[in-house]
Amino acid sequence: MWDLIFTALWLMLPAYTANNCATLFGGGRPLDGERSFFDGKRILGDHKTFRGFFLGVLGGIGMGVVQVIAAPYMMAYFTVPAMPPAVIIALPLGALAGDAVKSFFKRRLGVESGAMLPVADQLDFVIGALVLGLIAAPQWSLAYYTIPVVVTIVLMTFPLQLFHNMVAVALGKKKVLW
């Protein structure tokens, strides 16, 4: 069981890091340039910013590089898969793209920026990361993102997100816990 949890965490670290860095270091100019869509509503909203997106992706890639360096030392304790460069880039990029896509649909549904959309607010970045990872390295992704690993990722994301959001609220980086 611990091997499964560790593997799931290891495989998602670049995406988790990207999501956290975007929140903690974001701010500034919105990705949508404060423009509205055809329906008159903002495309993404104020919370999706260039700085958050780029620093999030950079943080996720940095974590992937750290994992590549740490992997040989981890082998004494756990079997960790070597991540190809395409995956190291795809996971953080997919995580933040998934978050942006969710925000786009929230605006279309009339859900205001910062308002909660249960489950989507917790799993958007996971879905984006897994999808882009699958596109970037299909054989690798299918070999390592097995059904038990994906279920574990989904289950552990909820408490990890809650903890991250509690820290972000305490630091004044977020106003809500979702």
Question: pLDDT at position 80, please?
Answer: 84
For residue 142, what are its two tokens?
Answer: 């299918």
Question: pLDDT at position 76, please?
Answer: 83
Question: pLDDT at position 112, please?
Answer: 82
Structural domain includes residue 175: no
Structural domain includes residue 98: yes
> Could you give the 3-state DSSP secondary structure of residue 49?
strand
CA 4 to mean position of chain CA atoms: 20
Q: Which residue has the tokens 């607010």?
A: 121
pLDDT of the chain along its 178 residues, tens only?
889 999 999 999 999 999 999 999 999 999 999 999 999 999 998 989 999 999 999 999 999 999 999 999 988 888 888 899 999 999 999 999 999 999 999 999 998 877 888 888 889 999 999 999 999 999 999 999 999 999 999 999 999 999 998 998 999 888 887 7
Question: pLDDT at position 98, please?
Answer: 97
Structural domain includes residue 52: yes
In contact, 103 and 113? CB cutoff 8 Å: yes
Question: pLDDT at position 77, please?
Answer: 84
Q: Angle at the Cα of 89 (from 50 to 82), degrees rounded to 5? A: 150
Structural domain includes residue 106: yes
Question: pLDDT at position 142, please?
Answer: 97
Structural domain includes residue 177: no
Give the domain range for residue 135.
2-170
Rounded to the nearest 10 degrees, the angle between the axes of helix 2-25 and helix 147-170 is 40
Question: pLDDT at position 176, please?
Answer: 82
Structural domain includes residue 101: yes
Structural domain includes residue 61: yes
Question: pLDDT at position 75, please?
Answer: 82
Structural domain includes residue 18: yes
Question: pLDDT at position 151, please?
Answer: 98
Task: Give the Å distances, CA to CA, from 90 to 15, 159, 164, 167.
Answer: 9, 24, 22, 26
Number of domains observed in the structure of the chain: 1
Indicate yes or no: pTM above 0.85.
yes
